[in-house]
Every structure is written in structure tokens, then in C-alpha cells.
């Protein structure tokens, strides 16, 4: 899949290099985004996994938070994995007192819902709208979607209905890390919205 439009990966912290690699493998012109002026040059954005509290603080320190919120509200396609899903959520349970999100995704998420680093696991998931084999998903200190607002749609679940992938318009979020398991269909779905 090749797109003629440049895509950004938020490169403040986390596994942004892995997302840049996946996008390059799909033939996409993908660039790291660390400053507001770099955000102006992209048609869509991936927010990687990492530490949501650190990403929040750095997005404010680098003057990115408000421009990101404006672009999300204006309809820019965004895909968030793990901490990226937390950053897109309108509501966060177990957040630090001063933690803020970018918002846009009408969900409530719980940070580290599956436990700590030692509780990381992999499993196969059926995903709404994906043909072919199940998605092999890696969960690392992953959040869970506790509640969906009326605009958000669950597209994958684990453990009897716990939501781990969601979409809403141009926004896509996963609790897990397809960028480290060789799974490209979520990135392709994100790119189809450009």
C-alpha cells in the first residue's frame, strides 16, 4: 500500500521507530513529529506505545498539545497504540492527578489494566472488518477500554468482552502493539482514512 500523503509518528517517547518502520514497509512517506510545525506537514498521525504520562508532559512542554487537539478535532486520521490509545481517550481511570489527554475518542480507558510489565502476554484476536488469520497481539502494561460512548465502536475484545481495539470516525486505537508482531492491517486501516 502506497499513499502519496506524508504521515507523522509522534516521536516524543515510546516505540515510534517501530511505527516508522511499519509505515516505511508499506511504502508510506513517514516522518517523526516532535514540534508543532512538523505536524503541519502530515495528513495523519500515529501515537505510539510508551508512557502516557510522559507523552502528556512532553506534548505540553514542546507546545504540541493544543495543535494536536485542534487537528484531531478537525478530523485528522490518528492511530494510537497502547499509550497512544490513552492519549486519544476522552476519559482515563487511574490517571495521575495532573495527567491530560488529547481526547477525541469517546471512550473511558483504564491504564495498566492487565498489570505490570511481568504480566505482559500475547494472544490471537478476531478483529471486525479484517479478513485472513486472527491478529497476533502483544499486550505490554496495556490499557483496557472500560466504557464506549455512543460514537465509538469496539472492533476487538479479549476475556469475555473486554474491549482492546476501538474506532470512531478517523480515530483508531488498540491496547496492544501490532508494530512489534509484524501485523500491518491496523496501519493499513489507518492509512485508508487519509
Please indicate whether residue 19 is annotated as part of the active site. Answer: no
Residue 90 within any structural domain of the chain? yes
Quick count: other Cβ atoms within 10 Å of Cβ 161? 7
Residue 187 within any structural domain of the chain? yes
* Residues whose CB falls within 8 Å of the CB of residue 123, separated by 6 or more in sequence, listed in order: 136, 137, 139, 158
Cell, residue 153: 465502536
Picking from 86, 72, 178, the residue whose alpha carbon sits closest to that of residue 125 is 178
The one catalytic residue in 19, 51, 136, 177 is 177
Each residue's pLDDT tens digit, 63-100: 999 999 999 999 999 999 999 999 999 999 988 889 99
Q: What is the mean pLDDT of the chain?
A: 94
Residue 94 within any structural domain of the chain? yes
Residue 2 within any structural domain of the chain? no
Say which CATH number the domain at 114 has. Answer: 3.40.50.880
Residue 1 within any structural domain of the chain? no
Check residue 142 and give its pLDDT. 93
Residue 126 within any structural domain of the chain? yes
Quick count: other Cβ atoms within 10 Å of Cβ 134? 13
Please indicate whether residue 136 is annotated as part of the active site. Answer: no
The one catalytic residue in 51, 122, 153, 179 is 179
Check residue 1 and give its pLDDT. 47
The one catalytic residue in 19, 38, 51, 82 is 82
Q: Answer for the pair 64, 39: CB distance below 8 angstroms, yes or no.
A: yes
Check residue 35 and give its pLDDT. 95
Cα–Cα distance, 48 to 95 (Å, whole number): 18
Check residue 4 and give its pLDDT. 60
Structural domains counted in the chain: 1
Picking from 69, 132, 142, 149, the residue whose alpha carbon sits closest to that of residue 103 is 69
| pLDDT under 50: residue ranges of the chain | 1-3
Residue 142 within any structural domain of the chain? yes
* Residues whose CB falls within 8 Å of the CB of residue 162, separated by 6 or more in sequence, listed in order: 113, 144, 145
Residue 82 within any structural domain of the chain? yes
Check residue 108 and give its pLDDT. 98
Q: What residue numbers bound the domain in which 61 lies?
A: 7-191
Amino acid at each position: 500500500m502506497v499513499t502519496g500523503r506524508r504521515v507523522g509518528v509522534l516521536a516524543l517517547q515510546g516505540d515510534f521507530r517501530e511505527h516508522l518502520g511499519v509505515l516505511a514497509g508499506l511504502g508510506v512517506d513517514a516522518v517523526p513529529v516532535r514540534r508543532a510545525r512538523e505536524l503541519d506537514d502530515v495528513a495523519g498521525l500515529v501515537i505510539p506505545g510508551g508512557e502516557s504520562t510522559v507523552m502528556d508532559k512532553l506534548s505540553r512542554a514542546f507546545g504540541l498539545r493544543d495543535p494536536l487537539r485542534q487537528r484531531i478535532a478537525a478530523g485528522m486520521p490518528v492511530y494510537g497504540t497502547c499509550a497512544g490509545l490513552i492519549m486519544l481517550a476522552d476519559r482515563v481511570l487511574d490517571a495521575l492527578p495532573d495527567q491530560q489527554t488529547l481526547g477525541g475518542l469517546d471512550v473511558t480507558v483504564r491504564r495498566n489494566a492487565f498489570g505490570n510489565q511481568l504480566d505482559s502476554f500475547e494472544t490471537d484476536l478476531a478483529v471486525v472488518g479484517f479478513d485472513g488469520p486472527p491478529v497476533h497481539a502483544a499486550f505490554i502494561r496495556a490499557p483496557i477500554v472500560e466504557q464506549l460512548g455512543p460514537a465509538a465502536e469496539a472492533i476487538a475484545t479479549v476475556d469475555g468482552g473486554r474491549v482492546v481495539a476501538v474506532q470512531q470516525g478517523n480515530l483508531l486505537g488498540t491496547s496492544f502493539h501490532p508494530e512489534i508482531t509484524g501485523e500491518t492491517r491496523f496501519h493499513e486501516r489507518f492509512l485508508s482514512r487519509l
